[in-house]
């Protein structure tokens, strides 16, 4: 059974820092790994999707990497801004086509 | 382009009442799913569908029913609401066959008293 872990559960940083968010998964037989952002009281917004054949994806200040052999994915946020404050979730999709989510990491970027 | 639309946004039920949470997508996605999100538990899969007429159970299916008569709609039915079903419910869709970016609705916040 796939298990996805995100540590730490919360992070508070000053504006301008480069951030590393971690995601680990137990079953390396995945189709893809997806990162989401969730604002309070809102739904999930897809940030980046990395297919199993890829090593990384980039969108603006965001870069996500995937290492299937070690069961890890990392989301890098460059030059963090207060508007980046949100909960970030990662989800692994395997052969059953189901998304298995981590519990998320609440990020606060202080001005 | 509306994406994934969920209704209602908020609902309060009494224990034992039944209701249907609506989910519709306009992206012609094959794969649709329902999750519930609870503090400390994360998102857990309730039911999912890989196409019209095909549904299957997820991690926490008890107390919920689904059907998929069209590609666009995937309603979630609570048969007899219980306080343990107080949660935020999210519907999601993706294509092809789930191996692509998932799109989520804005959620339904359900309280059972």
For the stretch A60-107, pLDDT in tens is 999 999 999 999 999 999 999 999 999 999 999 887 678 899 999 999
Confidence of residue B25 (pLDDT cuts 50, 70, 90): very high
Position B1 confidence tier, pLDDT thresholds 50, 70, 90: low
Q: What is the pLDDT of residue B2?
A: 72
* Distance, CA of A73 to CA of A32 (rounded, Å): 11
Residues of A with Cβ-Cβ distance to B43 under 8 angstroms: 89, 91, 99, 101
- What is the predicted pLDDT for the residue at B97? 57
The alpha-carbon radius of gyration of chain A (Å, integer) is: 13
Q: Which residue has the tokens 């916040």?
A: B109
Mean pLDDT of the region B107-113: 97
Q: Contacts of residue B106 in chain A, CB cutoff 8 Å?
A: 42-43
pLDDT score recorded for residue B40: 85
Mean pLDDT value of segment B23-44: 93
CB A17 within 8 A of CB A11: no
Is the backbone of residue A104 left (phi > 0), alpha (psi -120 to 50) or beta? Answer: left
pLDDT digits (tens, 9 = 90+) for A31-57: 899 999 999 989 999 999 998 889 999
Confidence grade of residue A1 (pLDDT, cut at 50, 70, 90): confident
Q: Which residue of A has its CA nearest to B101?
A: A49
- Residue B81: the pLDDT is 97
Q: Across all residues in chain B, what is the average pLDDT?
A: 93
Residue B33 has pLDDT above 70, yes or no: yes
Q: Record the tokens describing residue B52, joined without a space.
A: 């019209």
User: Strand pairing partners for B41?
Assistant: none
Interface residues on A facing B, Cβ-Cβ cutoff 8 A: 31-32, 34, 36, 41-46, 49, 89, 91, 93, 97-104
C-alpha count within 13 angstroms, C-beta hemisphere, residue A25: 29
pLDDT of residue A79: 97
Query: What is the separation of C-alpha A89 from the centre of its chain, rounded to a whole number of angstroms?
Result: 5
Rounded Cα distance, A94 and A40, in Å: 28
**Tens of pLDDT, residues B67-99:** 999 999 999 999 999 999 999 999 999 886 546
Confidence at residue A80, expressed as pLDDT on a 0 to 100 scale = 97
Considering only CB atoms, A46 lies closest to which of B45, B90, B103, namely B103
Question: Are residues A100 and A3 in contact, defined by beta-carbon separation less than 8 angstroms?
Answer: yes
Is residue B6 a contact partner of residue B23, using CB atoms and an 8 Å limit? Answer: yes
Token pair 């869709």 in the structure block, residue:
B93
Q: Cβ neighbours of residue A19 under 8 Å, at least 6 residues apart?
A: A11, A13, A76, A77, A80, A84, A107
Nearest-by-Cβ selection for B48 from A31, A44, A98: A98
Tell me what the mean pLDDT of segment A7-18 comes to: 96
| pLDDT given for residue A96 in this prediction | 67
Output the pLDDT for position B101.
Answer: 86
- Selecting from B40, B43, B50 the residue whose C-beta is nearest the C-beta of A97 gives B50
Mutate to test the interface with B, among A23, A99, A106 (most CBs of B within 10 A): A99
Which of chain B's residues have a Cβ under 8 Å away from the Cβ of A98?
Answer: 33, 45, 48, 58, 98
């Amino acid at each position: 059974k796939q298990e996805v872990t995100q540590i730490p559960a919360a992070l508070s940083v000053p504006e301008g820092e480069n951030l590393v968010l971690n995601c680990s998964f137990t079953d390396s037989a995945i189709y893809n790994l997806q990162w989401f952002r969730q604002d309070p009281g809102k739904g999930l917004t897809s940030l980046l999707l990395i297919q199993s054949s890829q090593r990384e994806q980039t969108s603006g200040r965001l870069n996500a990497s995937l290492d299937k052999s070690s069961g890890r994915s990392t989301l890098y946020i460059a030059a963090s801004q207060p508007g980046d404050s949100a909960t970030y979730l990662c989800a692994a999709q395997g052969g059953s086509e189901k998304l298995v989510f981590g519990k998320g990491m609440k990020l606060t970027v202080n001005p | 382009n509306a994406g994934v639309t969920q209704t209602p946004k908020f609902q309060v039920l009494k224990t034992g009442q039944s209701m249907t949470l609506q989910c519709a997508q306009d992206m012609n996605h094959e794969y649709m799913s329902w999750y519930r999100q609870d503090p400390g538990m994360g998102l857990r899969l309730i039911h999912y569908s890989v196409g019209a007429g095909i549904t299957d159970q997820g991690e926490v299916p008890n107390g919920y029913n689904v059907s998929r008569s069209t590609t666009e709609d995937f309603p979630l039915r609570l048969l007899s609401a219980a306080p343990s079903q107080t949660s935020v419910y999210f519907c999601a869709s993706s294509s092809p066959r789930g191996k692509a970016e998932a799109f989520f609705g804005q959620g339904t916040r359900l309280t059972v008293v």
